[in-house]
Every structure is written in C-alpha cells, then in structure tokens.
Amino acid sequence: MTFTISAPPHKKENITFKKIMWAKVLALMPAVLLSVYLFGLPAIGLVAASIFAAIATEAAIQKAFGQKITIADGHAVLIGLMVAMIIPPEVPLWIPMIGTVFAVGIGKHAFGGIGSYVFNPVLAAWLFLSLAWGSIMAPASYPQTSALFELVLENGAGVMAGVSPFFILLAGAVLIFRRYIEWRIPVAFFVTTVLLAFLLGDSLSYVVLGVVVFGVLFIATDTSTSPTTKNGRVIYGIVCGVLVVVYGHFANYVDGTFYGLFLANCVASLIDNNTLPASYGTETFLQCKYRSIVSKIPFKDRLEVFLDD
Amino acid sequence: MTNVYVMEKIPEKIIIPLKQHDGCLCTPLVSKGDMVAMGQKIGECECYDSASVHSSVCGEVISIEETANPNGSKVNSIIIQPAEAVECVDLTPVKDVSASKLVDVIKDAGIVEHYGTPTHKVLRPEGKQIDTVLINATSSEWIGGHYDTSAQYASQMIDALKLLMKAAGASKGAVVLRNDDLESINAFDHLRVDGKLLTVAPLMGKRKLSYYFKNMGSDIIVVSQERIYGQKILDLLTYNLTGRRVSFCCDPTDVGVAICGVKSAKALYDAVHEGRPYIETVVSVSGKVNSPKKILVKIGTPFKDVIDACGGYMGDTGKLIANGAVTGVAQYTDDVPVTKMTTSITVLSADEVIRDVSIDCTHCARCVDVCPVNLIPSRITAFADQGRFDECRQMNILNCVECGRCSAVCPSKIHLLQLIRYAKNSIENAYEDLSSKESPANLKLGCGCSGGK
C-alpha cells in the first residue's frame, strides 16, 4: 500500500483564483446582455474585440518573457470585459483594443502581473483613453435614475456598466454571499458616498447609478489594489467614497467614480501599512489612557478588587 | 453519548516507542527475548522531562530497533509479540497520597499530554509555581476514555481535576468546554461538587476566569468557550481564559497555568483509582474506512490493525493522517504505532489528495478574515519566503496557533502554514542557545514573564 505524504493542511477549500475570475465574468453577463438590448449589436463587437485584444496581449507578453501562459485563469478576459463595459459603445473598435492592450501590457504586466499591480488595469486603461481621445470617450449621455424602473434598466446610460444598477448589485451580492469578493469595502464605500452626496445636496438620482454600483462592487474590490487589513479595508472604502463624491459633486458621478477610485488606489498601500493589527491582548489607546488614569489614583489597592474583574 | 468501541483483537505485534513525548529518550529496561507482562514498565526515564513507557500487552520482546513513528521520524522502539496468556502486573490503587507522591505516581504511570509534554512536568515545572489548572475539553475528541454515561465522564473529570490541582499544588481549577458541545455541557450542569451545584458558565466578552471564580464562590468551575484549534493553541487559550500573556520562548507554566487534556486527566484518574499505567487510549478513526468509529486501543497497536478493526480501507487509499486532517502528519506507512500523542486517524481516498500549484498572492485577504489571532498571513508569508524573519516577528508571527485555516482558504494555493512554520522554527532556533551566548557578565535577558503581572 502506498501513501502520499505532504505537509498539512490535508483538506482545503475548493476555491481557486481561476474560479473567482470566471465567476466575476459570469456575474457581469446579465449587464452585458441588457446592454445588447439597449445599445444594439455593436455592444457585442465591442466586448469581443476587447476580450480578444486582452487575451492576445497577455499571451504575447508571457510568451515573449518565457513565462507560463495563464490565459485560462480568466483574469485577462475579465480585464477585457470590464474595459469594454466602461467605454461608450459607439466608439470605433480600435479604441477598446488599444485600451485593453494598455490595461494588460502596462497596467498589469509592467507592474509584475497578478497581485503586483498598483493601479487597477481597467481604470488605468480608462484614464489613458480619456486623456488621449477625450472627444471619442465622452459618453453620449450622462444618466439619471429618475424613476424606480430605471434602477433595472437605465435608459440614459452612456456606458455598458451603467445599463442596470439592479443587476450589477444582484451579481455583486451573490459574489459577496459566496465570499468571492469581500464586503467591507463595498459597504463602507457605498454608505460614505450616499451619505456625503446627501449632505452636499446632490440628488441621489445622480448618485445611485449603474456605473457607481459597478465601481463599488467590481472595481473597488479588486484585490491587488485594495488593502488587506480588516480596518484598512473599511478606511479604504471611506476614502473611495470621499474621493468619488469630491469628483462627482463638481463634475458628474460617472467620471467621478473612475477618477476617485484611481486616486484611492494610490493610497491603498499607505492605508495597508498603517493599519497592521496589533498582537491579541494588546491594549487599545483608550484602555491605555484608562489604565494610566487609574494608576494615579492613590488608594488603588482597594479599588483593584473591583478593577480585577 | 458517543459510543467507544473496544478493540478486542490482539495485533500480531505491538510497537512501543521509547519516546512518546517531547523530551529525552527512555532507557529500555528489557532486552530481546524477555517476557513482559501487561502494565510492566519497560522504559525508564532518566531526566525530568520524559515519562516512563509501559508494555500494553503480555508477550515476548522480539527486538529493540528504530521504527517509524507517527510524528514522521524514526524512534527506537520495543517490539513485542503478544503471547496467548494474559498476565498482568499487580495493579494497586494509590489513594490518599501526598502531593509530591502524586507527582511520582503520574511520572511512573507515564502520563503525557496530547501535545507532548509529560503531565508531571506541566504540573510541577522546575522553578515555577502553578496556581491554576485547566482541563481543556474544547477539542472534538472530548471523550478521552471509556465511560458508561456522560455523568460518569463529568464526575471523573472533576475528580481528576482535583487530583491535578493537588499534584500541582494549585488552588484553582477549571474545566473548559466548547459552547456548541451541548452533550458535555449537560453532563456537567447540575453536578454536585463538595455539596455545591455546578453551573457551566459561558465565557462572555472580556471576562476572564478570575471573575467566574469570584462570582461562583468556588475554586472549581466549569466554563465554556468558542472552539479554537491548532497545533499551538496553549498560549491563546491561556490568554483567553486567564488574561495572562505568555512571552516568547515561554509556555503557560511560566505564568502559573497548567493545561491538561481530557485524555491525561482520564489516565490520571485510572492511575490513582485502579493503579493502571497509561497503556490504552481512545482513537477516533474517520474518513474512508468501512466503519468509522471511536475505538479504545492499546498503545503500540499499529495503525494497520486499528484500521482493520474499523472494517479496513474503503477503495483507493491516498493518505493516512495521524491527528486530524487539518494539522496532522501524513504517514508513509501504516506500520506506525498508536502513541500517547495520537488522538485520531484519518484516511483520505486517492482523489481527495490535493495537488495544487501555487500562484502569486492576489492580496484577496481571505486569510486575514479567517485568522483567529489577527495576523496578516499573506504578508508574513511573503516575508518568510524571502527569509526576512525579523520582520515576521515584528508582525507577531509567534502568536500563530498553526490552525492552517489560512492555507485552507487560499485561492492562490500558497503554502501559508508551511512557510509560517519555517519562519517560526528559524526564529526559535536562533534564540535556542541565547542563554549560553549571553554571559552572566552581560545584561541578563530573561523571558520577561513575571507571573502574568
């Protein structure tokens, strides 16, 4: 009888990076189908061109540098899909292709591949395209969800990510429920955005948009560009919210989401480094203060009977 | 009540390792060809940190050689061929003995904690004073012996706790149960101890045992807490229960806490009330065997025979694991014996064997979310991989309880537990000969423990 030997643990959860990526791609499909209904067949061409360019770039780069080709893990496909979803559907096909080549080539691989990039490749591509071809990249319309029905199908959507806040939210909720994406960032982000927009007097119909929900659930939660510590993720969500509202209040919430998140990416590692958790049993700041005050009380020996509990 | 089966069939040979604890090897008292009786002491400990070894059967010593041990290494062992006749040494109960005599009883009975330290060393560590004795019944194998009813289990545990407290010279003792283990909680609830009714108190918030001792007005209490598991949970358990922090290179005995398992408590009870040394133990067999069960076996029974007693292997066997599928050691042969440190045997089928290729960390923070001691395993692992152990230490790597949850949830399939252990071992090795490096003329570097104050 032969036995396999290996180091523990001998049982692991059946979760892989590949599975998470394809789940995200699948989760975005309802929005893509709805955008075909809204924008017509060109939307399909846009998605196809974008994904094709992303896969080709990834394969070419990994081949050129003699790395293992990892197209199958779905990360390139996800980048391609997400880039296609945040540019206006009526652009010429070379725009998404240049965008994804930039996203995969510069945004992802120039920084060292998965897990190493500082800026979300999708946002980097959007920023690059917006700066280079500003007039083409301006969406035909900026949306407003004036009726409740618009939360399901947003008529004024300028980009594919904005077609349906409801379906994006549903997809994100399923992913959070399956623990494929985490919940602290989206919750902190969304609450901050809505609260600040409300305090500043922005109408929520300009804030609760498909693009904002997409940014909250799919862009801000990108694992490589967000902090890892528990507190850090909450702070990161708040920072995202503040930046998005700052941009959104003075411009619009579609561009504001992307610019805000891009800037938030810059501070992610700063937040991470400054929120490292202390060892268990370490006193918090307030407990330290309390103890230092108590220690100054002259008859503390008698008090200690109570303090001991 | 979980049924515990008794293994009736005597195996063809019994392998008794001369070292079933962390410490030095015992010297064999028998030689090849000798006849031994059941319960006869066959290995004697010379130094304080080891426990005696007894024969669990009656038979002939056929050889003394190095054989495979469930911890993965090879250990000098006495191999006994059981004889037809059952001859047992005289078992004399030792009741009403003094505290120091009780420690000798424990040492002679060869009682060892399941984490490896001999029980007498836990209770009477050299140069340290124990004030609290805890029986940790939070693990899944709560029945560490053969009991008729759960009430019997509860009362024997309380008796054993009293004995442990007496041996340690401790004034306070507690049995720690698990919140979701209703069976044991019911067993302990409304038990009478010295005329007082026991109530199982769940640990709430930041309250520690000292509160409960005072609140109940008793020196013996039973509390329950969340389940914690892992290879190195003692420090965390000590902190959770007593609020005392255990410093680096120290163990709970440094802060006056002795932690015993259910199994050793039961073994002590047997040693005192029946005079029987620690020669049999309950092992829970699970996984791909035909009839998984908890079974009482003699120490030294090869895994092969234990599995045969559980109906044999089911289908293609991939892995044989001692002590749990999460943190246990995979065996390369089923000829290894059950030792005092064996609590369970798990069999995995060939298609359950994980073959994963690690990829880069994506900082998904799943490991951070599951860590029971608030570490950042992903970052610690990156440092460990680069050999930056000082930075690992700054990130509190020594708090790690080695539960392996981070490895289990990692989508990138990084071997987090292995890397963390590697770093921890390196740090511990670096500090091992610290005292000899530090000459007395230099500044004295102690462990910093001061009885938890």
Distance CA(B399)–CA(B167), nearest Å, equals 30
pLDDT at A150: 79
Binding-face residues of B in 391-430 toward A, CB within 8 A: 395-396, 399, 404, 407-413, 415, 417-418
Task: Give the residue on B whose Cα is nearest the Cα of A6.
Answer: B330
Mutation for testing the A interface, residue in B244, B363, B424 having most A CBs under 10 Å: B363
What's the CATH number where A198 sits? 1.10.3430.10
First to last CA, chain A: 57
Residue A282 pLDDT class (50, 70, 90 cuts):
confident
Within-domain flag for A308: no
Within-domain flag for A288: no
pLDDT at B452: 42
pLDDT at B1: 55
What b/e readout covers B77-112, taking b as 16+ CB neighbours within 10 angstroms?
A: bbbbebeeeeeebeeeebeeeeeeebbebbbbbbbb
Report the run of H or E that residue B419 belongs to, with start and end: helix B416-432
pLDDT at B449: 54
Distance CA(B382)–CA(B415), nearest Å, equals 11
Residue A263 pLDDT class (50, 70, 90 cuts):
very high
Residue with tokens 């020669």: B279
Domains and CATH numbers, chain B: 4-91+276-348 (no CATH), 99-273 (3.40.50), 366-434 (no CATH)
Give the CA diameter of chain B.
65
Structurally, how many domains does chain A consist of? 1
Distance CA(A169)–CA(A155), nearest Å, equals 17
Within-domain flag for A284: no
Distance CA(B410)–CA(B417), nearest Å, equals 11
Within-domain flag for A304: no
Nearest Cα neighbor of B64 from B78, B44, B43, B82 is: B78
Helix (H/G/I), strand (E/B), else coil: B1? coil
Query: Is A71 exposed, middle or buried, given 0-12, 13-18 or 19+ CB atoms closer than 10 A?
Result: middle
pLDDT at B451: 43
Q: Residue B373 is nearest to which of A20, A115, A280, comparing CB atoms?
A: A280
Task: Give the residue on A whose Cα is nearest the Cα of B367.
Answer: A228
Q: What is the pLDDT of residues A134-146, one digit of tens each?
A: 999 988 888 877 7
> How high does pLDDT run on average in chain A?
89
Within-domain flag for A43: yes
Verify whether the Cβ–Cβ distance B376 to A115 is below 8 Å: no
Distance CA(A24)–CA(A82), nearest Å, equals 10
pLDDT at A60: 96
Residue with tokens 């770039």: A57
pLDDT at B382: 94
Q: What is the pTM of this model?
A: 0.87
Collect all residues with Cβ–Cβ distance below 8 Å to B91 and sequence separation of at least 6. B39, B274, B275, B276
Q: What is the pLDDT of residues B84-124, one digit of tens each?
A: 777 777 777 877 778 888 888 888 888 888 888 888 888 88
Within-domain flag for A126: yes
**A14/B contact by beta carbon, under 8 A:** no
Instruction: Give chain B's residues under pLDDT 70.
Output: 1-2, 140-146, 435-453
User: Domain limits at A226?
Assistant: 17-273
Verify whether the Cβ–Cβ distance B410 to A8 is below 8 Å: no
Within-domain flag for A11: no
pLDDT at B207: 81
Residue A297 pLDDT class (50, 70, 90 cuts):
confident
Mutation for testing the A interface, residue in B216, B359, B373 having most A CBs under 10 Å: B359
Q: What tokens appear for B80 in the block?
A: 């006994």
Query: Above pLDDT 70, what percent of chain B?
Result: 94
Mutation for testing the B interface, residue in A280, A284, A286, A304 having most B CBs under 10 Å: A280
Q: Is the pLDDT of residue A67 over 50?
A: yes
Within-domain flag for A4: no
